[in-house]
Structure 1
């Protein structure tokens, strides 16, 4: 550890250096950043959660993904504007601290950290459940209990994240490559069935299935609105690209390109994939808890394809858990550098990795092993809702910070970003209103309401912690940026 100095002013060096003084190694290249950005939009929410969404809303789920995808693009362009103003690894936690206040940065950093811990538990639980596809014997009994796989996956990903940031980038690159290849392959197979008529679904496949089975809104517009929570959960992690700013080799060039891919990613991987699947297999054939991709291949009579897709779904879950391992250590270190967390989280290894923060987070993720041991059938549902509300808090802070930054930049108080959000501030206000509507809908949904009960409790815990921290060290409670 070198000596710690306190810098109470943002002198603009971070905007040029993209994290100067943070101590990280710039080991993430353009190829890896692009795939992290692409893979961040493709996860368990699509591969598994879409099955529940289809059963609730039918083909209109496509429209829900399209509208929510537009909102996500507004959020990402708002983040992009901030990143080009000052690209730092703390990302939206740092921006909340600068433009909203020290307490907002404190809440955002710790909440985003908790989001990834909870998401890591969710994803390792999902990955363990996918292993059942291969580990059941002829009578349907598991050869290995679910918790064993949860433990193995958690330990392996933790060790991989302790080697180097480059290895993390490579893992995410190949995880994302598998997901992208699988979805494109699925779209091409469905297109072939629609045009050539092969497989068991060939005779009935038609785009008219999108409205002939009870209409495009078979269960009403209200049911479609109630799917927005799981739709937004599917998009969580797209903002992860902002956390990579401090370790990107060329953030000024790479990050805008990655963010600008958001529209076509959503158009192809969500809207396009669901249009093709629901044109080949009627929406009434899908069930909650079963991946629509796996179910579609089984309905087509392509059993080998179902096994391949199950492997892809497993990869998607491991990819998300890997991202959680990466981001939690960085968020804890950013909090510690700002005096909003224990000082030992600032320590880096010789390879520039936040060992203590990553280890602490991985230890908490082992709670997922216990959940899989005690409640193997319900583990996934227990944590999804809280992950959604905590993840959306980061989006709210991104939008509020961007609005306040833009106002200061327009007045000439701060330098203008080289990557302005189009349509702002109106697009940012629209995105905030949309997120507010989703939170209201979560309050109406009995299954999701539990997360709204937990949120005030978490806020109270953070409020007390911040007051204690401020009373003990007024100058270290987020008012000054420490450089290591």
Structure 2
């Protein structure tokens, strides 16, 4: 029996269309929608609907560019591969390690959120216990098979979808019945424009909404890291990507319409989840517990996506010689187990650090802003790779059955939009600090890349 039959040398295509659709939906619905929507409504008023729509449309085009690239060559396992192929080794190195770092930061935020949500039911429990338990559980489940990851994401995403659909149906039902709140407000769609119009906080409030809303969409590209493990990618990837606009309309726009129709935007409290508040108004006493459960599964789902994505990124980086070769070794279940272990150790170290240094909690806005800046860097690299692909491989574009609408012109429009969001991040003190800190990561990456290049030259000289 050969060793390769015990330890496979490639990832298996174990994710079905059902898994992929729900992974894509889970990626598009962040915890930010459940917890951050109160703050965004308070900042921008009803114009927040436009904010989510604009960001969603722009990211749909990024996903379409990614889809065309992944399907142009089925040897591409993720966006590291096409970045390296079309832009050069530096792009694969910067893209892969930045994406890995993005998800470690995001997963640290999720694990800390899980610890906080667990205290809702177990107030006496030390916060590090649920944090460690969550990481160990996700590590064990991810080590078993890729199909189990898909299965977990399927059920996690399903819980989120059911909660949002319940909110939309409840909210629109309250509007239909003319529900009157204890404060005297009648539920009506006119609440969307009757108090100061669509832009009640002016253009400044509208722009401020973008800063937080971008965070809600991080993870939308996870579907691109599943390409090598997707059964029948030519059929299933386009299906998952094309359903993104429908999801954004349904989950973001309709949910926010339901919330603001029942509770006028001025009454929405930034510090509370408007999801809980709506169910409480509807007279559902277990609302807080129910939504706490949903948000807990949402954060677990995001951490699960993070652990999956980071291990696949390390696998891709190792194959391109951008990371230690040991990360390219697969377990008997065709899972990059060493990458999984390394990512989980980094995740635990980051989560533990917050309990050692309490001040880090106050710096958390900076860390999540930093993650959003770095995610935009990865999305931009996908667009630059697409522009290079259209220049270098026009024949593949002609043959493509999944062409990106708008092509190169749309890529430039998306890049201009990301530059605009970066400018908006300079308007607030906390987001400005995170933006100023982001070059440090790229300097460290640059040093790492130069060291790797020199080591490669030295090894070649030694072998000669």
Q: Distance in 2 between matches of 1:380 and 1:44?
A: 15
For structure 1, which runs of at least 5 residues remain unmatched after alignment? 4-20, 136-141, 478-484
The 3 A distance-change label for structure 1 pair 195 and 230 is same
Query: Do residues 368 (structure 1) and 355 (structure 2) align?
Result: no
In the other structure, the counterpart of 1:263 is 245
Q: Distance in 1 between matches of 2:226 and 2:320?
A: 18
In the other structure, the counterpart of 2:141 is 160
Aligned match for 1:337, one of 319, 327, 330: 319
- Whether the aligned pair in 2 keeps the contact of 1:82 and 1:417 (CA below 8 Å) is no
Q: Distance in 2 between matches of 1:315 and 1:30?
A: 22
In the other structure, the counterpart of 2:334 is 352
The 3 A distance-change label for structure 1 pair 199 and 212 is closer
Partner deviation per Cα, 1:140-162 (whole Å, 9 max, x = no partner): xx311323221221111111111
Partner deviation per Cα, 1:314-355 (whole Å, 9 max, x = no partner): 111110000011011110111111111111111110001111
Deviation at 1:476, TM superposition (A): 9.6
Moved more, 384-393 or 281-290: 281-290
Q: Distance in 2 between matches of 1:75 and 1:261?
A: 14
Query: Do residues 473 (structure 1) and 456 (structure 2) align?
Result: yes
In the other structure, the counterpart of 1:464 is 447
For structure 2, which runs of at least 5 residues remain unmatched after alignment? none
Query: Do residues 104 (structure 1) and 91 (structure 2) align?
Result: yes
- Whether the aligned pair in 1 keeps the contact of 2:310 and 2:343 (CA below 8 Å) is yes
In the other structure, the counterpart of 1:425 is 408
- Give SS of 2:245's match: helix
Q: Distance in 1 between matches of 2:128 and 2:425?
A: 30
- Give SS of 2:286's match: helix
**Structure whose residues are more often helix by fraction:** 2
- Whether the aligned pair in 2 keeps the contact of 1:187 and 1:276 (CA below 8 Å) is yes
Q: Distance in 2 between matches of 1:48 and 1:443?
A: 23
Deviation at 1:75, TM superposition (A): 0.8
Query: Which TM-score applies when normalising by structure 1?
Result: 0.89
Aligned match for 1:146, one of 127, 146, 167: 127
Deviation at 1:372, TM superposition (A): 4.1
Aligned match for 2:50, one of 37, 50, 63: 63
- Whether the aligned pair in 2 keeps the contact of 1:205 and 1:280 (CA below 8 Å) is yes
The 3 A distance-change label for structure 1 pair 229 and 203 is closer
In the other structure, the counterpart of 2:191 is 209
In the other structure, the counterpart of 1:196 is 177
The 3 A distance-change label for structure 1 pair 338 and 419 is same
Query: Which TM-score applies when normalising by structure 2?
Result: 0.92
Aligned match for 1:130, one of 117, 120, 135: 117
Aligned match for 1:237, one of 201, 204, 219: 219
Deviation at 1:177, TM superposition (A): 0.4
Partner deviation per Cα, 1:113-156 (whole Å, 9 max, x = no partner): 00010110011112222223323xxxxxx311323221221111
Query: Do residues 178 (structure 1) and 159 (structure 2) align?
Result: yes
| RMSD over aligned Cα atoms | 2.2
Q: Distance in 1 between matches of 2:280 and 2:364?
A: 23
Deviation at 1:306, TM superposition (A): 3.0
Query: Do residues 324 (structure 1) and 311 (structure 2) align?
Result: no
Partner deviation per Cα, 1:294-329 (whole Å, 9 max, x = no partner): 122234443322321221111111100000110111
- Give SS of 2:125's match: coil
- Whether the aligned pair in 2 keeps the contact of 1:328 and 1:358 (CA below 8 Å) is yes
Query: Do residues 399 (structure 1) and 383 (structure 2) align?
Result: yes
Q: Distance in 1 between matches of 2:138 and 2:278?
A: 30
In the other structure, the counterpart of 1:37 is 24
The 3 A distance-change label for structure 1 pair 422 and 300 is same
Q: Distance in 2 between matches of 1:325 and 1:242?
A: 15
Q: Distance in 2 between matches of 1:447 and 1:167?
A: 39
Partner deviation per Cα, 1:224-257 (whole Å, 9 max, x = no partner): 1122122111111111101101001111110000
